[in-house]
Amino acid sequence: MSKSEQVLSLDPPNELRFKGPFTDVVTANLGLNNPSDRRVCFKVKTTAPKRYCVRPNSGIIEPGAKISVAVMLQPFDYDPNEKNKHKFMVQTMYAPDGPIENTDMLWKEATPEQLMDSKLKCVFEPVSPRPNNVPTVSFVGFQGPGPMEADLKKTMQECRRLTTEISTLKEENEVLREESLRLRKLAMTKTTSSTPESSSFQSAIVEQPQPPSTFPSLLIVVIAVILGLVVGKLIL
């Protein structure tokens, strides 16, 4: 004896569609409508139980009632080249009159002639790439560096250049200072040998500190002024 025709009407009737991306849970809703005048027991099964979560996966639908079943696809690494063979089956049968104490026993004792079923295939819809003819929306705040950013970049480059020059000038100044001291010592040595009274004068010259070079200090002041102007523009 052949199976009875499915009493419930399904929405959608043939396939469940899941739209990507599949990095999170994707839910497809399945509507079950009971147009008959009898209670109907239902059970939802799948060929890939580890990949889906179904709520509710079984129950009883009253005459003329409708319920919504949430079929939740768990996150996974989608491969468009992998052929999808996942399927679902909605199995139903008429519920007996009176109270039902154990639905599991009811399903176990059901004969094949009492069972009705409908099969649905699963369809995965990945995120569609944007067409080439769709214009790219640009925002003012994301159009690249503006005049202030360009000025700041130039200022930083100038600061680095000036810092290098200051370091070079310091080294040259140190060399010149040492050379000047050497020449002074040499001159005073010759003077001492010819004029004894000049020994105290020699000591005074040797101990007199040299005035520091003001050029590196001026460069540091210039750098500080430039940075202050740029920071002031950014704040305004």
Q: Dump pLDDT digits (tens) for 47-72.
A: 999 999 999 999 999 999 999 999 99
Range with the poorest average pLDDT among 154-158, 185-189, 217-221? 217-221
Q: Please give the Cα distance from 39 to 62 (Å, whole number).
A: 5
Please name which of 106, 87, 117 lies closest in space to residue 5, comparing C-alpha atoms: 117
**Inter-residue contact 115 to 3 (CB < 8 Å):** yes
N-term to C-term CA, the chain: 87
User: Are the C-beta atoms of residues 122 and 15 closer than 8 Å to each other?
Assistant: yes
Mean pLDDT of 155-163: 75
Say how far apart CA 227 and CA 229 lie, in whole Å.
5
- Among 68, 97, 125, identify where a domain stops: 125
On whether both 53 and 94 belong to a single domain, the answer is: yes
In a domain, 157, yes or no: yes
Comparing 160 with 146, the larger pLDDT belongs to 160
Domains identified in the chain, total number: 2
- Structure confidence at residue 37 (pLDDT): 96
Please report, rounded to a whole number, the percentage of residues in the chain having pLDDT higher than 70: 72
Residue 201 sits in the same domain as residue 108: no
Residues 178 and 230 in one domain: yes
Pairing of β 15-19 and β 116-125? parallel
**Would you state the pLDDT for residue 24?**
95
37-51 pLDDT, tens digit per residue, is 999 999 999 999 999
Mean pLDDT of 127-135: 62
| Same domain flag for 105 and 160 | no
Q: Which residue has the tokens 């500080």?
A: 224
Of all residues in the chain, the percent with pLDDT exceeding 90 is 47
Look over the chain and give the mean of its residue pLDDT values, rounded to a whole number: 80
The verdict on residue 137 lying in a domain is no
Q: Which domain holds residue 215?
A: 145-235
Is position 4 within any domain?
Answer: no
- Amino acid in the structure at residue 83: K
CA dist 121 and 202 (Å) reads 107
